[in-house]
Amino acid sequence: MNNEEVAKFKPDFVTPHIDYSARMPTSKMYTEMTGMFNTDALVKYCWEQIAEPSYGNSWYTLYYFQMLNLNKQDVFEACPMLAEVDKHTPIKGMGITLMSPGFYYKIHTDHGRGVCFNMLLNTNESITAYVTPPTAEHIQGETFRLKYNLNEMYLFNTQVPHTVFNFVENRYMFTVEFHENKELLTYRGLKKRLKQQGLIGNTTVQL
């Protein structure tokens, strides 16, 4: 079949115009807290706990993840900035989630918490993505990938629909939950609070 014959089978359509200016900015989904946290000691502590949990802690199932709780004071010693955050925005708990390879988590928003800190400890082979729901007129929604830098803390908006795919190895994530639920503490609200308390600068976070 020559090129002219192949051309006959090409669909006759116009590529739809996409208004990228209307897309939700990623700053409303997550913020990399570059320079705010020194995570070296915290990362070391997390891997020690993964290898041999302290205080009789053990892994348990939470929302289809495996979860390991961490001792709050030990975490504060390893990462003093989290202790500073806790003075103004009390932290309920901290832990490590484990997601097995070959699984994904359905698109969802978190049930109770409106915002959290996350830090990916390993595997760049996993994918974290935010999505926007399709409208009545369109069957497609938009996707936005969060490309975690390993061992960097991120402020994560749990109330924008998101999903996780894991492929190759166990995926370990350090995560922080606050006492205030999603009605009392939002992603935008925590960003503003951290800025007011001088824990982040004007150039680090855009409200």
For 46-73, how does the pLDDT look when each residue is reduced to its tens digit (9 = 90+)?
999 999 999 999 999 987 789 999 999 9
d(CA 180, CA 202): 25
- The tens-digit pLDDT sequence of the chain (207 residues) is 666 665 555 555 555 555 555 677 899 999 999 888 999 999 999 999 999 999 999 999 987 789 999 999 999 999 999 999 999 999 999 999 999 999 999 999 999 999 999 999 998 789 999 998 777 676 778 899 999 999 999 999 999 999 999 999 999 999 999 999 999 999 999 999 999 888 776 534 433
Q: Write out the two tokens for 5.
A: 């014959």
- Backbone angle region of 154, left / alpha / beta, with phi > 0 → left and psi within -120 to 50 → alpha: beta
For position 125, what pLDDT does the model report? 86
d(CA 96, CA 47): 10
For position 142, what pLDDT does the model report? 87
Q: What are phi and psi of 127, to 5 degrees?
A: -125, 130
d(CA 151, CA 63): 23
For position 92, what pLDDT does the model report? 97
For position 207, what pLDDT does the model report? 36
- Write down the pTM of the prediction: 0.85
For position 123, what pLDDT does the model report? 80
